Amino acid sequence: MKRLIAAAAIAASVVALWTLRPPARTVRVECVDMGAGQCWIVRGPGGSRVVINCGRLAGGTDGPGSAAAAVNALVRSGTNSIDCLIATRADADACSGIKALAKEFRVRKAVAPADALEALRGSVPELDWQPVRPGGAVATADGLMLSLAGSGQSVEAIVVEMPPTSIALIDRLSPETTRQLAAEAPAALVLGFQASRGDPSALGALEANAAVLHSGRSRDQWADYGLLKTLQDRCERVWQTGRNGGITLQANGRVIRAVVTHGDQQ
């Protein structure tokens, strides 16, 4: 009988320890395949969703269809709302699909830097746009933190923080932004369509374990070859949306995994 009681006590202790163990705090960054454009969907450890930009250029024209890929990605994730929508600028490759996205989902909060506010308030007036600036941050109820980097009033990059690691989402690279990101030492770099077409010298001393480049499928929409080669020299793995399709980075502590739609898998 004593042995049975002891065994039951040990089993109860194991169950209690398992129950008290904190759940894995996984953050997911989905790099949506938007062709010659960009959209990032960040999912926090408690289910929060932050969408950063939503747009592409298709044959030189823009329209509601430019949001289709982002809408499909959000529908697959099982949500009907967006906790925060961040627009880094008002250009078509970043924001041509935001109006259509806002019609499909409830957007609880919409923010943009001061140099894009007027244009966005005019093109998507149904959202209550609020200003943000470099040095600021966006936080969600489940502890997701996104720090804004940039130069002057322009938000050029967003760092998704998941201690002890981080993922840098880069829209453009000025020398000031490059210095800020190098000091952050992110584990992964995600370069938007504009940043992917930049000169490799813009990377400065930036390096990481992995990198994602946004690109289209036609030759004139490919990422800059010199930039691609530089990242391949500095990173263990490099993916391109034009080749690999949608790419989701999953960060859990120091570990970052990639789920690739097609092409080179990991």
pLDDT tens by residue, 233-242: 999 999 999 8
Average pLDDT over residues 62-80: 77
Query: Is residue 56 a part of any domain in this protein?
Result: yes
Task: Evaluate whether 150 touches 131 at the Cβ level (below 8 Å).
Answer: no
The pTM of the full predicted model, rounded to 2 decimals, is 0.87
DSSP 28: E
Query: Is residue 161 domain-resident?
Result: yes
Nearest-angstrom CA–CA distance, 45 and 161: 12
Give the integer Cα–Cα distance in Å for 158 and 85: 13
Number of structural domains in the chain: 1
Cβ neighbors of 5 (< 8 A, separation 6 or more) are: none
- Structural domain for 101, as ranges: 24-260
Question: Dihedrals φ, ψ of 70, to 5°?
Answer: -70, -40
Percentage of the chain exceeding pLDDT 90: 67
Please tell me the predicted confidence (pLDDT) of residue 67.
Answer: 80
Task: Tell me if 168 is assigned to some domain.
Answer: yes
Q: Residue 252's pLDDT is what?
A: 85
Specify the 3-state DSSP secondary structure of 125. coil
In one-letter notation, the amino acid at residue 126 is E
Res 113 pLDDT > 90: yes
SS3 27: strand
**For residues 56 and 34, is the Cβ–Cβ distance under 8 A?**
yes
Structural domain contains residue 4: no
The per-residue pLDDT of the chain, averaged, comes to 86
For 13-26, the pLDDT digits (tens) are: 333 333 333 445 78
pLDDT surpassing 50 at residue 63: no
Banded model confidence at residue 69, pLDDT cuts 50, 70, 90: confident
Looking at residues 134-139, what average pLDDT do you find? 96
Residue 150 lies in a domain: yes
Chain segment 96-111, per-residue pLDDT in tens: 999 999 999 999 999 9
User: Has residue 119 been placed in a domain?
Assistant: yes
Structural domain contains residue 11: no
Task: Using a pLDDT cut of 70, give the percent of the chain over it.
Answer: 85
- What local confidence, expressed as pLDDT, does residue 4 receive? 47
The confidence score (pLDDT) of residue 56 equals: 77
Q: Is residue 19 included in any domain, yes or no? A: no
Q: Mean pLDDT across the stretch 187-201?
A: 95
Once rounded to an integer, what is the mean pLDDT over residues 198-205?
95
CATH assignment of the domain containing 50: 3.60.15.10
- 190-208: average pLDDT: 95
Query: How many whole angstroms separate alpha carbon 232 and alpha carbon 33?
Result: 20
Residue 134 CA to residue 208 CA, distance in Å, equals 22
| pLDDT score recorded for residue 116 | 96
For 154, which DSSP code? E
Give the confidence band of 164 by pLDDT, cuts at 50, 70, 90. confident
